[in-house]
Amino acid sequence: MEVNGKDDLNVPLLRPPDDVVVNIPQPTNNKDKKIRMVKFKIGDIKCASCATTVESVLQKLDGIENAVVSPLQGLAAINYIPELIKVKKIREAIEEAGFPVDEFPEQDISVCRLRIKGMACTSCSESVERALQMVDGVKKAVVGLALEEAKVHFDPNLTDTNCIIEAIEDAGFGAELISSENDANKVHLTVEGVNYPEDLTIIQSSLESVVGVNHVEMNLEENKITVTYDPDFTGPRSLINCIKEVGNGSKLYNACLFVAPIRREAQQQQEIRLYRDQFLFSCVFSVPVFVFSMVLPMLPPYGNWLDYKIHNMLTIGTLLRWILCTPVQFIIGRRFYVGSYHALRRKSANMDVLVALGTNAAYFYSVYIVIKALTSDKFEGQDFFETSAMLIPFILLGKYLEVLAKGKTSDALSKLTDLAPDTAHLLTLDNDGNVVSEVEISTQLLQRNDIIKIVPGAKVPVDGIVIDGQSHVNESMITGEAIPIAKGPGDKVIGGTMNENGCLLVKATHVGSETALSQIVQLVEAAQLARAPVQKLADKISRFFVPTVVAAAFITWLGWFITGQAGVYPEYWIPKATNKFELALQFGISVLVVACPCALGLATPTAVMVATGKGASQGVLIKGGNALEKAHKVKIVVFDKTGTLTIGKPEVVSVVLFSSYSMEEFCDMATAAEANSEHPMAKAVVEHAKRLRQKFGSPTEHFTDVKDFEVHTGAGVSGKVGDVTVLVGNKRLMRACKVPIGPEVDDYISKNEKLARTCVLVAIDGKVAGAFAVTDPVKPEARRVISYLRSMSISSVMVTGDNLATATAIANEVGIDKVFAETDPLGKADKIKELQMKGMAVAMVGDGINDSPALVAADVGMAIGAGTDVAIEAADIVLIKSNLEDVVTAIDLSRKTMSRIRLNYVWALGYNILGMPIAAGILFPFTGIRLPPWLAGACMAASSISVVCSSLLLQYYKKPLHAEN
């Protein structure tokens, strides 16, 4: 018998005789051509002839590699070259042939995050954005200056991450891929023992045969394998074991997780070291220049030797200053030339252009002075070598301190990232639940459904459910809740939290990028990248600022030079050993340097970075600068009732029958109808009905299946239980279904509504059979929060699907004056729009599920009590805890941040607005005070440092209600 290849293992031994096989072409690995596949459904395919017709039409198109159409399902699989043909054209060709395209895929959009190197100011970040938007296929690009990252949305059919990185590098900046959207269920493995291409083929076919593996990419040069998988079926650990098992005899393979060589923190440290080393290296030259220019000439006779003439009028002092200044100007200052070249090539201007212009003007004028002194025996002139020799070190010192401070703005995010432990104790259990083995493995190798042991004092590695043990878990690092939470079997635990006193066995439910901690980090990173509307001001200013500064510097030089030549000001104004041209040049260079708008670009993003990080550490996740800016304008907060103002765990406090049905039958009917509902009140009714059934009937649980089950939004549920129609819900449902409500039922409802209870009516075959009175206690902090919001000049409104009497009773209890009751989810959104029509900024606080339309309609949507489900799309702000105090925290933090941003603009523009006139010499005629270029450089550096340090003060933010307590 012949030995079959591994691929034969995937072919079924017996095929049904009527099985029709469509060979789906696989994308070819062609280095010269980038080939992609598209699949869609074609209508009116009635036979094999129709399929052949479509195939022949497609094959005639330029750029189509191959196409296969199934005659049974009408499915088409087409390989094409995106550079030659677009998907839209393929569709049009099929439709022109007379076949409609039924299920056309929406435009495929991918997202990637990149680290950008070499950005100095807002002008740089705008240049990167422009370069990205010019790439064919890029739909949206956002560049964060403070974060030094870019988020790019692109069409993978038209471009890829390599083209995007190339475009950034062409614009003169460095770029490095951080992550792409498809990395969620993707693992990169390094393989050992691979020497030949055949080895990789064996490993690839082995991995592809694993259940749950979707795609395998091989890289022979780096011995690296990238596997895309379904986490429900497999995971990194299983894949590594699969590779190890392939080896046999002399061929042994090993695999481990591929770890990216450079992390963000390491790069930050590298950048800090670079600026520090450049500054110290520049000091080696600039300190002697400072001594020779400004110290020794003031200390005769120690400085007399500097005036010794070497040839004609060229002195030792001038020659030494020239020799020492040149390395600073061209070696240490090279980065400014490179930056200027790329900026001017992009037809823009940035800090590098201003510094290069200023230092070059001073340096080459000084070189002209040297040449004149060397060739003339009567010429007297003052050089400015100390200007560039001291200006560049001051700018480097400023950048060093700025980078140092900027690193601290992401401290909160770094702390969140470091919360997850590196290792975990993995248990293997037998069928009886006994521990068979225990092994310590990397947290990255954990998979869904793994059983993990968490000892006292250890951190929880991933999200999961406790299956055994009792303990208290400190969740303060994730939720901001200071008191440890008791955990037992069935309770959820969050990755990154600390187990305090007991041993827990936890079943992993979310691993890798799916954990709450990973999602929080991703959400905060996205928020720090999102641009606040207030930043548009800085962007507008920076666009025309640099050209304006260059013009102002030229006008300053021209003004002083012309007035000097015309004799407008007296000769004694001119300092000793300086002429009119040199005095004018010094003023011009000072204006050029002091007015650099670097700090302007940092004013908003640094504050947003610190605020979002601080908020995340306190359980308040703010999705970017836009949400932050809108929240500070909020004048009305709309609260949902159930689960927001109330605890959200309703309890049945009384049951009454209005018919001849027994309590057992009544409970069975109610339970069967409510069992499929997710509403908290339905769950409370089901739980209570189960307890009553055990009390009045047999303890054996038996629930009849419900047919024609229907949810009536904001009213209740209905369905057929056996032969009878059962309705469970409020008065609105009964009226809608024409169920009469007698005086006895009405009296029972009124009595309970006055006690802030909700009545759940049960109607069987068109008659009210009984009712449950449900109460949901108000949160203890609710009244205090409403009162505090009132002190912040914010009014509160309650909107609920419950009846008016119950809603009013709860509103009175917490101190809310305005109530909208008996409102369905879409009605809540309409109420919010009505309030917005009055010109008010409205925030909506809800649970993020039933309240999604209202959260989207509001100016600021706050999803409360998110717990581990932090990726709530509808919300602008996600509150992890169910504590209403966080609503106040979110609004207060946004107000503090916006006032901090305004202060930052004062710092950023203050140096420029005050510094420019002084640098231009406005005080010189009256006081003799002028700003030397090197001191102007120090002012420019100080403005950036002031802004970053101002933003860092937000790290000391305290919750207002906690501070009050």
Closest CA to 108 of 142, 139, 67: 139
471-474 β-sheet, strand order: 485-487, 471-474, 498-499
d(CA 519, CA 657): 48
Residue 177: Cβ within 10 Å count: 15
Where helices occur in 222-315 by DSSP H, the ranges are 236-246, 264-290
pLDDT tens-digit map of 25-82: 444 444 345 667 777 778 877 777 788 888 888 888 888 888 888 777 677 888 887 7
Q: Give residue 872's pLDDT.
A: 66
pLDDT of 182: 59
Lowest mean pLDDT among 29-38, 52-61, 124-133, 849-858: 29-38
pLDDT band at 5 (very low <50, low <70, confident <90, very high): very low
* Span 202-219, average pLDDT: 81
Q: Compute the 3-state secondary structure of the chain and give helix, strand, coil in percent, each to the nearest 5.
A: 50, 20, 30
Q: Is the dihedral of CA 69, 73, 74, 78 positive or negative?
A: negative
Q: Are strands 485-487 and 451-454 parallel, antiparallel or unpaired?
A: unpaired
Tokens standing for residue 759: 């009545």
pLDDT tens digits, 896-938: 999 999 998 888 888 778 888 888 888 888 887 877 777 777 7
Residues 6+ away with beta carbon under 8 Å from 919: 556, 587, 590, 591, 593, 594, 595, 931, 936
Q: How far is 137 from 88, CA to CA, in rounded Å? A: 14
pLDDT for 668 equals 84
The DSSP bridge partners found for residue 425 are: 440, 453
CA-to-CA distance for 634 and 699, rounded, in angstroms? 54
The two tokens of residue 121 are 């100011």
**Whose CA is closest to 103, among 75, 79, 80?**
75
* CA gap 385, 391 in Å, rounded: 10
pLDDT at 445 over 90: no
* Cβ–Cβ under 8 Å, residues 646 and 774: no
- DSSP string for 704-762: PPEEEEEEETTTEEEEEETTEEEEEE-HHHHHHTT----HHHHHHHHHHHTTT-EEEEE
Q: Taking all residues of the chain, what is their mean pLDDT, rounded to a whole number?
A: 81
CB 276 within 8 A of CB 397: no
| Lookup: tokens for 427 | 């248990």
Cα distance between residue 286 and residue 282, in whole Å: 6
pLDDT at 11: 40
Hey, what amino acid is at 41?
K
Round to whole Å and give the CA distance between 36 and 205.
Answer: 22
First to last CA, the chain: 83
Distance from C-alpha of 151 to C-alpha of 530, rounded to nearest angstrom? 9
User: At which residue do the structure tokens 């469509």 appear?
Assistant: 22
Q: Is residue 630 within 8 Å of 533, Cβ to Cβ?
A: no
Residue 905: phi and psi, rounded to 5, are -65, -35
The confidence score (pLDDT) of residue 340 equals 86
Task: Look at residue 772 in the predicted model and tell me its pLDDT.
Answer: 92
pLDDT of residue 704: 67
% pLDDT > 90, the chain: 14
3-class secondary structure, 860: strand
φ, ψ of residue 657 in degrees (nearest 5): -100, 140
Distance CA 711, CA 199 (A): 57
H/E run at residue 505 = strand 504-510
Whether pLDDT at 414 is above 50: yes
How many whole angstroms separate alpha carbon 359 and alpha carbon 590?
Answer: 10
Tell me which DSSP letter residue 437 carries. E
Handedness of CA 617, 620, 623, 629 (dihedral sign): negative
Mean pLDDT of 820-841: 87
- Tell me how many helices (H) and strands (E) the chain has: 30, 36
Summarised one tens digit per residue, pLDDT across range 211-262 is 888 778 877 777 788 888 877 788 888 888 888 888 776 677 888 877 665 5
- Determine contact, residues 99/42, Cβ cutoff 8 Å: yes
- Copy the structure tokens of residue 810: 């709860």
Place of tokens 């809310």: 816
**Structure confidence at residue 783 (pLDDT):** 92
Across 385-391, average pLDDT = 81
Judged against a pLDDT cut of 60, whether residue 871 lies above it is answered with no
**DSSP annotation of 965:** -
**Do the strands 314-315 and 224-229 form a parallel or antiparallel pair, or are they unpaired?**
unpaired
Model confidence at 730, in pLDDT bands (50, 70, 90)? Answer: confident
Share above pLDDT 70 across residues of the chain, in percent, rounded to a whole number: 89
Query: Looking at residue 181, what is its pLDDT?
Result: 62
Distance CA 520, CA 530 (A): 15
Determine the pLDDT at residue 1: 39
778-818 pLDDT tens trace: 888 899 999 999 999 999 999 988 778 888 888 998 999 89
Name the β-bridge partners of 227.
187, 216
- C-alpha R_g of the chain: 36
495 within 8 A of 462, measured Cβ to Cβ: yes
Summarize the confidence of residues 948-964 as an average pLDDT: 82
Rounded Cα gap, residues 616 and 810, in angstroms: 31
Quick one: pLDDT band at residue 430, thresholds 50, 70, 90? confident
Q: Report pLDDT digits (tens) over 555-606.
A: 999 999 999 888 888 888 877 666 788 788 888 888 877 776 667 777 888 8
Residue 184 tokens, joined: 């969620």
| Alpha-helix residue ranges (DSSP H) falling in 226-263 | 236-246
Helical spans, DSSP H, in 146-248: 161-170, 197-208, 236-246
Q: Mean pLDDT, to the nearest integer, of 254-282?
A: 79
3-state secondary structure labels for all residues of 365-425: HHHHHHHHHHHCCCCCCCCCHHHHHHHHHHHHHHHHHHHHHHHHHCHHHHHHHCCCCCEEE
Is the separation of the CB atoms in 424 and 446 below 8 Å?
yes
pLDDT value at position 519? 80
* Count of all residues that appear for the chain in the document: 965
C-alpha distances out from residue 780 to 44, 133, 777, 814, 952, Å:
63, 51, 9, 9, 34
Distance CA 908, CA 205 (A): 60
What pLDDT band is residue 702 in, cutting at 50, 70 and 90? low
Token couple for 73: 């399902």
Q: How confident is the model at residue 6 (pLDDT cuts 50, 70, 90)?
A: very low
Which range, of 23-27, 59-63, 429-433, 527-531, averages the lowest pLDDT?
A: 23-27
Between 580-594 and 535-565, two packed helices, what is the crossing angle to 10 degrees? 180
Transcribe 801-830 into DSSP letters: SS-HHHHHHHHHHHT--EEE-S--HHHHHH
Answer for the pair 48, 70: CB distance below 8 angstroms, yes or no.
no
- Listed in sequence order, the residues at least 6 apart from 948 whose beta carbon sits closer than 8 Å to its beta carbon are 402, 405, 406, 409, 602, 606
